[in-house]
Amino acid sequence: MDRNELRELFQKTADGELTPDEAVMKLRLKPFEELGYARPDHHRGLRTGIPEVIYGAGKTPSQIAGIADALLNGGQKTVIITRLSSENAQRLSELIEIQYHEDARIAIAGKLPEPDTDGIILIATGGTSDIPVAEEAAVTAEACGNRVKRLYDVGVAGIHRLLAHADDIMKARAIVAVAGMEGALASVIGGLADCPVIAVPTSVGYGASFGGVAALLSMLNSCASGVSVVNIDNGFGAGYLASMINHIGTN
Amino acid sequence: MDRNELRELFQKTADGELTPDEAVMKLRLKPFEELGYARPDHHRGLRTGIPEVIYGAGKTPSQIAGIADALLNGGQKTVIITRLSSENAQRLSELIEIQYHEDARIAIAGKLPEPDTDGIILIATGGTSDIPVAEEAAVTAEACGNRVKRLYDVGVAGIHRLLAHADDIMKARAIVAVAGMEGALASVIGGLADCPVIAVPTSVGYGASFGGVAALLSMLNSCASGVSVVNIDNGFGAGYLASMINHIGTN
Amino acid sequence: MDRNELRELFQKTADGELTPDEAVMKLRLKPFEELGYARPDHHRGLRTGIPEVIYGAGKTPSQIAGIADALLNGGQKTVIITRLSSENAQRLSELIEIQYHEDARIAIAGKLPEPDTDGIILIATGGTSDIPVAEEAAVTAEACGNRVKRLYDVGVAGIHRLLAHADDIMKARAIVAVAGMEGALASVIGGLADCPVIAVPTSVGYGASFGGVAALLSMLNSCASGVSVVNIDNGFGAGYLASMINHIGTN
Amino acid sequence: MDRNELRELFQKTADGELTPDEAVMKLRLKPFEELGYARPDHHRGLRTGIPEVIYGAGKTPSQIAGIADALLNGGQKTVIITRLSSENAQRLSELIEIQYHEDARIAIAGKLPEPDTDGIILIATGGTSDIPVAEEAAVTAEACGNRVKRLYDVGVAGIHRLLAHADDIMKARAIVAVAGMEGALASVIGGLADCPVIAVPTSVGYGASFGGVAALLSMLNSCASGVSVVNIDNGFGAGYLASMINHIGTN
Amino acid sequence: MDRNELRELFQKTADGELTPDEAVMKLRLKPFEELGYARPDHHRGLRTGIPEVIYGAGKTPSQIAGIADALLNGGQKTVIITRLSSENAQRLSELIEIQYHEDARIAIAGKLPEPDTDGIILIATGGTSDIPVAEEAAVTAEACGNRVKRLYDVGVAGIHRLLAHADDIMKARAIVAVAGMEGALASVIGGLADCPVIAVPTSVGYGASFGGVAALLSMLNSCASGVSVVNIDNGFGAGYLASMINHIGTN
Amino acid sequence: MDRNELRELFQKTADGELTPDEAVMKLRLKPFEELGYARPDHHRGLRTGIPEVIYGAGKTPSQIAGIADALLNGGQKTVIITRLSSENAQRLSELIEIQYHEDARIAIAGKLPEPDTDGIILIATGGTSDIPVAEEAAVTAEACGNRVKRLYDVGVAGIHRLLAHADDIMKARAIVAVAGMEGALASVIGGLADCPVIAVPTSVGYGASFGGVAALLSMLNSCASGVSVVNIDNGFGAGYLASMINHIGTN
Amino acid sequence: MDRNELRELFQKTADGELTPDEAVMKLRLKPFEELGYARPDHHRGLRTGIPEVIYGAGKTPSQIAGIADALLNGGQKTVIITRLSSENAQRLSELIEIQYHEDARIAIAGKLPEPDTDGIILIATGGTSDIPVAEEAAVTAEACGNRVKRLYDVGVAGIHRLLAHADDIMKARAIVAVAGMEGALASVIGGLADCPVIAVPTSVGYGASFGGVAALLSMLNSCASGVSVVNIDNGFGAGYLASMINHIGTN
Amino acid sequence: MDRNELRELFQKTADGELTPDEAVMKLRLKPFEELGYARPDHHRGLRTGIPEVIYGAGKTPSQIAGIADALLNGGQKTVIITRLSSENAQRLSELIEIQYHEDARIAIAGKLPEPDTDGIILIATGGTSDIPVAEEAAVTAEACGNRVKRLYDVGVAGIHRLLAHADDIMKARAIVAVAGMEGALASVIGGLADCPVIAVPTSVGYGASFGGVAALLSMLNSCASGVSVVNIDNGFGAGYLASMINHIGTN
């Protein structure tokens, strides 16, 4: 039941076609969504520039093309397709027009929006192996209309590389800190920054890194204020959250 | 917004006091509960004989007495108070009339219902140390109107003790299998029974029992069909679920 | 020793062919089963409509065909074959007649029974990736003579999708809640339902989902009453248990 | 070496007292801080209204009083003292003037600031046992100049209680979701909210909750976008981060 | 139903008091034990010299005294009471005559048997803190009629201390290796011995010993043949098993 | 330094070629083995009928053939080659004469010994998937000169199948209990047997079996006396230990 | 058998009192130590200035006093007593003369040695709560004759505090990095230092620090070269190892 | 900003081209490295004989060749390339001249340095499967200018093999102990050695070895002093640290 159906229900009551009691009965079992609460993702999708997201893993290129087409035809300006292998991207590009970001494993259908806020999201990694996760965050943030600054391979074992960019850290409105192994990057950045730091542990490492658990625990135990954590390798979630933070006060 | 308020909204629309659009607007932000979906626990509470439950841990005897009084005055026939230490039970008994089951750490206020179904819930333990958890299940089930048969200390290391009661197992409508240490009781009973078996791992044990984890894993991996598991030491949950199962077809 | 052999033993004693002491000696070492306790699964198998189950993993198509033939010739009406890859299903279908449910990885040999109870088993999933496990539960339940209602992709992050089907939840006699990642579906459904909820954690997820452990722990810690848990990805076990519950009072 | 010392070094070079090479040598081993990068926490402390924080655990009341006095005399308007037992709060209050928030285990010395932003921080809990952690977040946020709305005991097992406040969720600029046991609250709120959700797992629970691990994993695996996680029971960290987010665009 | 009852059943059939069919019916539901399989522990108890065991934890001194009296009066020569605190031992000794082994936390009621086999059980510990667990094993073994040789504080970090007793290792018929921390003792002894080595991890240690888990894993992964493991701190189990092994061929 | 060299050293001292001090000096740094302690595995190898063992994994067929040849030429009667894939076994059989046991992944070179003791080792499994591990134990035991009785697929979920063989359990001199999933077989057998039970957890299972951890914990927590545990899937270790136990008193 | 006994054996052979064969026989079963290999700890103890260590936990003050007296009388110059509570230190000081270091929980009996090497051991902590573990390392190192520089509360969340002491890091010959929570200190120091860094995780922290596990994993996964790790809270081990490293080339 | 640039800054101030204030401003935001602190690895790289390290995993042969060329042209004498598969080594050798160590998976470009210290690094393994990790350590150490002695397959289950080399242990300046499974080698060596022992757990093993965790925990809990631990399979880290220790006092 959308707003029109709801309006019709009241109209029928106003017209005497339904008694108030009958209307109550009809309404009583109607679920939440149908009372006008837009399904949140749909809700978000209707705002200009906020892209819909298609989780690409486990979908065929033709399925993805179909969904993307429908969204674009429905007025969506940008569609993000995540976790898309380069092989599937190749096949998808034969069906619809996309920009494929190989490191990020993300394809963009439609138009990449211009940044709609002055704030900068800084995305830093501890090592070069963390870059794919960082790119997933970066491309997601860009597709959501953010300016992104990348600062890769600034792990804490060579702290001077990070400190050389202390002003970038101090000027960012949100920071995504991506690191595997000992995951200490988030704490060091958290100690230098005045803005929220979203820590993304990665599964980079071996032995007692346990597929990202060491970095995850390290980040959860950060002694720096303003640091929070998302799931291991969840670059998309970090980019999305950074965009949310970066848009506060703009809408 | 309860049903009356909802009716009033339609009435006002029928009376022309509100246009249909105004009514839609008023209704649009109203939450779920207020449309007449009873709060489930309240809903349950209004059925005859189904007791309300007060989680006793962390509440003072006078707080408990106050809640129990309110419930009994509101028409509730039985009130279960769980996780109540014997010390607090003593103090509570000076405030309101209760029956205290020390092993189960449960107090009953009001009237214990007569069994309202012929089905029998069998509650078995692997050892004597598991009895407090089993009693929590047993008293909960009795307070919900079930016949309960106790079969304690029939652990699998002395399998003949369990087999001596094979007919009890075969006649039960639901079985609660309570065991710590290696937790194998659930599997053996599950292999003999035709009815649902609710497995309750207990924190009884030492060393590599890890506070009930060994029993929990053992029960989750049961190769017998019809076995499901609740949290470690969760006698109340098992008794409640067994009662649900035992009442199927009776209401 | 079946009942006939046992009878013969007593007959021989009555006839004087054996002294009582000799009979005791003969009987003394005889095992349980041979005294007339049917092997439980056999016992179940002889009831009309309750299918035998063949665990398909690790068996060759011809082995499976052999077992299924024997069961069907022995009077069994329905045979469930679980964990059967589509490749093996193809080869099996060349040997015996089967219906293959690809999502569920289950083949049915013989006749699928008509539902023999009015109760409905609701099977819900958090996401689309949980569907294979849910289908394993659904097809198992159907093969056991149950009416099944599927409610897929109603995860808690879009709670309105679930609430839109609140009446299905309220009308079910047993619910199977299948979810990976954070596994919160079971708690939310458990809070809305009056019937037993069987929670099935799935291995869907990545990073700190640890192959289903996050969902498993979440479900074990559910604060809703009436929820119990089976092993990760154990759709068969959940469907079987739901059928047990749904048939209570019918046999 | 602060800026003055640095200036002096150049001055001496300009004056010919030091050759450029001697100056390089002097500077070469000087650490980072002394070049003018303020120590971040100090930096923050000098901004109006942003309180300094004293971690109260493991400090004596007189130590705390000494530090607080120094800070207040140094121009600090508000001092937050966290993890302060009521016993130590009592003794502290005999030394300096404080407001003590017992649930939150936080004392405030100095003046609680007026809210300096219109945004609202919503703080929700799954149960009543989670309230102390939530209050730690709430009082922290208030002491940082935020408007806070509390929404306690709205756990997902009674989802209607949460939905009745859907508009609070939709209006917040940042949300702190505090829950133990299965920790599903964060996902459900994350699905309803458009703003960042900071999830705080609590150590509330027993058995397989493993002191908050079940809730932590559940929250890390949230399928809702915009959710990030802090350490178990870290109410202070969540409140501080929520304040950071709520002040974006205001300074 | 014991053997006499069973005999009576056949007698009645022989006497014509029961038809064979009636006898079958009577027998059919009789459980295992009653057919003459002695309850195993009882069975063991009736052999000369093999003690009954009372698990002392969680029993009052008077309960223990009652059970021990009954056993001794029933013909039992030795009764082992394990996990008995020195306080309870003191109180027990006022009720019945016991020998109390404080390190082992074991009391012996009745007569300690003479060794009834020539084989020697060697019990070794890695450190002095492991001695209580080792003594539990040693006293158990002695109470079961074994000669025991103690070899304490011979941990692998000072391997010469162990090697100085290589001949004891080579002459033993069963060895109990008790160690906490890194638990390497079992492997080293296993490499020197020709007889079964029962490894007992202890909870001695700190930090990453995780209450005995490090030693447990070390022992399970022993590269020496002939090593098996019992639960953390399970001295009784090791002593009992060592006695079983040492008595092979003697009964 | 073997015994001859040692003798020579004393001889030279007796002959005056070395002063006692020179002899001490020569001897002082000599390692353990060279004083005559045979390398234990060698030591064992020289006894008649006790086979040498070659760990086949990671060795080429020609390497294995070389080692086996050397051992057989050196007087060894039987050589066990474990963890040998059927593919490598095929290639090995082209180089030397072997008997290959495919289930057990063991090849025997040389002559399989006749049993040299009357005792029987019983090897039981919970399911059919556990058979490869059980066969590794069985063939190992047979190659060490033991009579082995196999009792497969007697898991506790169908306890009657196990009880039907209670006399086998009671007559064995050592039992190897092999089980995955919930691993309860060891406890049930341990409760019935009078002899040592060696429990072998297997990695059979899925989900919360965690590759054998559930079975391992279950077995370590067995409440039956006389049960000890070896590593997950360690059939060889169990068979070797069972042989050790079975030969006690025979050499 | 010490060197004298050994010499006597050869002497007797030289003297003809023993035949070479008899001597071989006597020697054959003699253990390692008795051939002249000093027991390593004893060996160390006899070098000037290297202290003996008494693990104080679980020993009574009089036991400790007895051992310390014996050592000092035997020529030992310094005796370290670790893990000594202040209460026991008080009682010990009534028996023998000690210097007690309360933070480190270490008492020194005898004479603290002068530093016997120019190298400096730097001991750094992340926070103030890590100081007791750091002091255990520091006092141990001092008692072993090292110069120690302490650098406390230089955690990575305020990286400038650490960098302000970069020259101390660069001048040290060994560094002990002590940290709880996220444990990143070791990596940052490891990136700055040219000398070995010994990382000591501490159990400081809460929630997902899991008693030091988060710091331990972080340190094991350090991406800086030259970092190794000791057990959680093992200050003594770190101090001892640092002393070993600092004395390389000096003896 | 390198030293020259810095000098230029002072020169310009001396020359009056910059005022002291302008110079301060220019310098103020300059990062750490540029003030003359050589990036540590670079710093190390400039010393004679200390090789640069290229982590080969995840780099193409042509990338590696490019980096190695640049380093060698820049004056580097030795370049270590770690984690290089034999396939990639083959392809790399077509691009630049390398020595490839297959076991170690390390290639050396440039000139292998002569040992520049008399100290010996002993590298020991528990089994033959640990050799690849040991070789990674050995070749790393050799490439850093150390004498290395290998002592492989001396696991504790055959302790005599290790003891036969006790003098090697006693003469080493640093020892790397590499072991999987139960990891006890480090403790035994630690008890015999006077020098630092670097323990390297390996992922060799199966079942409850958990990919090296059992060995890791065993090594962390070593009761021998002077033992520290690096990550599972981290042969490079151990070799590098051993070289650091072996060079103390030489530079």
pLDDT digits (tens, 9 = 90+) for C84-95: 999 999 999 999
* Chain C residues touching B227 at Cβ < 8 A: 230, 237, 241
Given a cut of 80, whether residue B57 has pLDDT beyond it is yes
Residues 6+ apart with CB under 8 A from G159: A159, A163, A188, A191, A192, D32, G188
Considering only alpha carbons, which residue of chain F is nearest residue H167?
F29
pTM: 0.85
Between residues H121 and G17, the one the model is more confident about:
H121
How many CB pairs below 8 Å do chains A and G form together? 123
Provide the pLDDT for residue H167: 83
**Residue B249 CB-density burial (10 A; 0-12 exposed, 13-18 middle, 19+ buried):** middle
Residue C61 pLDDT more than 70?
Answer: yes
Chain A residues within 8 Å of chain C (Cβ atoms): 29, 31-34, 37, 39-41, 58, 201, 203, 211-213, 216, 231-234
Q: A5-37 burial, b for 16+ CB within 10 Å, e for fewer?
A: ebbbbbbbbbeeebebeebbeebeebbbbbbbb
Q: Which of A181, A251, A250 has the alpha carbon at shortest distance from A209?
A: A181
In the DSSP assignment, the letter for residue H218 is H
Q: Which residues share a beta bridge with G176?
A: G123, G198
pLDDT value of residue B93: 96
Instruction: Assign E44 a pLDDT band (cuts: 50, 70, 90).
Output: very low
* Min Cα–Cα distance to chain D from H67, Å: 29
Task: Kindly state the tokens that stand for E102.
Answer: 């404080």
Identity of residue E168: D
Residues of chain G positioned with their CB less than 8 A from the CB of H210? none
Show which residues on chain C lie within 8 Å of chain D, measured between beta carbons.
126-127, 155-159, 163, 181-184, 187-188, 190-192, 205, 207-210, 213-215, 217-224
What is the model's pLDDT at position E227?
Answer: 96
Mapped to the 3 state alphabet, what secondary structure does A114-134 carry? CCCCCCEEEEEECCHHHHHHH
Angstrom CA distances, A109 to A54, A130, A192, G198, H89, stand at: 10, 25, 37, 51, 41
Confidence bin at H32 (pLDDT 50/70/90): very low
pLDDT at E251 over 90: no
Identify the pLDDT of residue B227: 96
The pLDDT, as a whole number, for residue A41 is 41
B103 contacts in E (CB within 8 Å)? none
Q: How far is CA C12 from CA C21, E6, E152, G118, H178, in A?
A: 12, 16, 64, 100, 72
Q: What is the mean pLDDT of residues G180-197?
A: 91
Tokens of C122: 């609701």
| C-alpha span between F7 and A200 (Å, rounded) | 69
Checking if the pLDDT of E203 tops 70, the result is yes
Nearest C-alpha of chain A: how many angstroms from H223? 21
Q: Kindly list the strands in the beta sheet with A98-101, ordered across the sheet, starting from the edge strand earlier in the chain.
A: A52-55, A78-82, A106-110, A98-101
What does the pLDDT average to over G3-10?
65
Token output for A83: 């976790």
**A32 contacts on B by Cβ (under 8 Å):** 32
Mean pLDDT (whole number) for F173-198: 93
Mean pLDDT value across residues F31-40: 34
Give me the pLDDT at residue A30, please. 44
pLDDT of H25 reads: 58
Kindly list the partner chains of chain F, i.e. chains with 3 or more CB atom pairs below 8 Å.
Answer: B, C, E, G, H
Cβ atoms F213, F180 nearer than 8 A: no
Query: Which element (helix H / strand E) includes E175?
Result: strand E174-179
Chain G partners of D232 at a C-beta cutoff of 8 Å? 206-208
Q: What is the DSSP letter of D158?
A: G
Search chain G and give the residue with CA nearest D1. Answer: G164
Quote ipTM for the complex: 0.82
Q: Write the pLDDT tens digit of every residue in C105-123.
A: 999 999 889 998 999 999 9
Query: How confident is the model at residue G6, as a pLDDT?
Result: 64
Chains D and E touch, using 3 or more CB pairs below 8 Å: no
Give the helix, strand, coil percentages of chain A, each rounded to 5: 45, 15, 35
pLDDT band at F16 (very low <50, low <70, confident <90, very high): confident
Dump pLDDT digits (tens) for F91-103: 999 999 999 999 9
- Containing H/E element for B169? helix B166-171
Q: Which residue of A has its CA nearest to G220?
A: A208
Q: H51-65 pLDDT, tens per residue?
A: 788 888 878 899 899
pLDDT higher for G214 or E51? G214
Span G141-146, average pLDDT: 95
The helix or strand, by DSSP H or E, that contains position F162, with its residue range, turns out to be helix F159-163
- pLDDT at position C98 over 80: yes
What CATH number is given for E120-246 in this structure? 3.40.50.1970
Q: B163 or A20: which carries more pLDDT confidence?
A: B163
Could you say which of A53, A196, A246 has the minimum Cβ distance to residue D241?
A: A196
Say what percent of chain B tops pLDDT 90.
Answer: 52
Residue type, H201: P
**E-chain residues near B160 (CB < 8 A):** 31-33, 37, 39-40
The mean pLDDT of chain C is: 84
Q: Does the pLDDT at position B104 exceed 90?
A: yes
Write out pLDDT tens, residues A178-232: 999 988 999 999 988 889 999 999 998 889 889 999 999 999 999 888 999 999 9
Cβ burial of D3 (10 Å; 0-12, 13-18, 19+) is middle
Q: Tell me if residue E211 falls in helix, strand or coil.
A: helix
Q: What is the distance in angstroms between the Cα of E21 and the nearest Cα belonging to chain C?
A: 6
Q: Sort out which chain H residues have CB atoms less than 8 A from E208's CB and list them.
A: 217, 220-221
Position A3 pLDDT exceeds 60: no
Residue C156 corresponds to which tokens in the numbers above? 């808690």
For chain E, the structural domain boundaries read 31-110, 120-246
For chain G, percent of residues with pLDDT exceeding 90: 51
Q: Which has more confidence, A11 or B131?
A: B131
Tell me whether residues A161 and H41 touch, CB distance under 8 A: no
pLDDT exceeds cutoff 70 at E83: yes
Q: How confident is the model at residue G42 (pLDDT cuts 50, 70, 90)?
A: very low
Q: Which residue has the tokens 């092989």?
A: A87
Tell me if B107 sits within 8 A of B81, measured CB to CB. Answer: yes
Cα distance between residue C198 and residue B20, in whole Å: 43
Question: Distance between CA atoms of A73 and A61, rounded to whole angstroms?
Answer: 18
Q: How far apart are CA D133 and CA D208, in angstroms?
A: 20
Q: For testing the chain C interface, which of D210, D221, D231 should be mutated: the one with the most C CBs within 10 Å?
A: D221
* Two tokens, residue G168: 């101390």
Residue F42: partners with Cβ closer than 8 Å, 6 or more residues away: none
Using a threshold of 3 CB pairs under 8 A, tell whether chains G and C touch.
no
Whether A and E touch, i.e. at least 3 CB pairs below 8 A, reads as no
Radius of gyration of chain A (CA): 22
Cα(D202)–Cα(D213) distance, integer angstroms: 9
Q: How many Å apart are CA C82 and CA E160, to the nearest integer?
A: 58
Contact C232 F208 (CB under 8 A): yes
Q: Is the pLDDT of residue D176 over 60?
A: yes
- With CA atoms as reference, the chain B residue closest to F210 would be B217
Closest CA to A211 of H213, B223, B239: H213
Cα G10 to Cα G21: distance, rounded to the nearest angstrom: 12
CA angle F172, F176, F179 (to 5 degrees): 135
Average pLDDT score, chain A: 84
Among D161, D194, D223, most C C-beta atoms within 10 A, so best to mutate, is D223
pLDDT-based confidence at residue D47 (cuts at 50, 70, 90): very low
Alpha helices in chain H, H assignment, sequence order = 3-14, 20-28, 40-46, 61-73, 86-93, 131-143, 159-163, 166-171, 185-192, 213-220, 235-246
- Per-residue model confidence (pLDDT) at position C43: 38
Interval B3-32 mean pLDDT: 65
Chains A and G touch (3+ CB pairs under 8 A): yes
CA distance E210 to chain C (A): 21
- Mean pLDDT, residues E77-101 taken together: 95
Q: Do D196 and A241 touch (CB under 8 A)?
A: yes
Chains contacting G (3+ CB pairs below 8 angstroms): A, D, E, F, H
Residue B179: count of CB within 10 angstroms of its CB: 34
Closest A-chain CA to H1 = A164
Burial D234-246 (b: 16+ CB within 10 A, else e): bbbbbbbbbbbbb
Q: Measuring CA to CA, which residue among D187, D148, D199 is closest to residue A40? A: D187
3-state helix/strand/coil string of chain C: CCHHHHHHHHHHHHCCCCCHHHHHHHHHCCCCHHHCCCCHHHHHHHCCCCCEEEECCCCCHHHHHHHHHHHHHCCCCEEEEECCCHHHHHHHHCCCCEEEECCCCEEEEECCCCCCCCCEEEEEECCHHHHHHHHHHHHHHHHCCCEEEEECCCCHHHHHHHHCCHHHHHHCCEEEEEECCCCCHHHHHHHHCCCCEEEEECCCCCHHHHHHHHHHHHHHCCCCCCEEECCCCCHHHHHHHHHHHHCCCCC
Instruction: Look up residue D56 and give its DSSP letter.
Output: -
Q: Has residue E196 got a pLDDT over 70? A: yes
The confidence band for F130, taking pLDDT boundaries of 50, 70 and 90, is very high
* pLDDT of F47 above 80: no
Contacts of E166 in chain G (CB under 8 A): 29, 31
Tell me the percentage of chain D whose pLDDT exceeds 70: 86
Q: In this predicted structure, what is the pLDDT of residue G25?
A: 58
Provide φ and ψ at C109, rounded to 5°.
-105, 150
| Whole-number percent of chain E with pLDDT over 90 | 51
pLDDT > 70? residue F36: no
Inform me whether the pLDDT recorded for G22 exceeds 90: no
What share of chain H has pLDDT > 70, as a percent? 85
Query: Could you read off the pLDDT of C126-174 as tens digits, one per residue?
Result: 988 899 999 999 999 999 999 999 999 898 877 878 888 888 998 899 9
Residues A172, A193: contact at Cβ < 8 Å? yes
Nearest chain F residue to E38 by CA distance is: F192
Chain A residues near residue D238 by CB distance under 8 angstroms:
228
Mean of the per-residue pLDDT values of chain B: 84
Confidence (pLDDT) at H251: 52
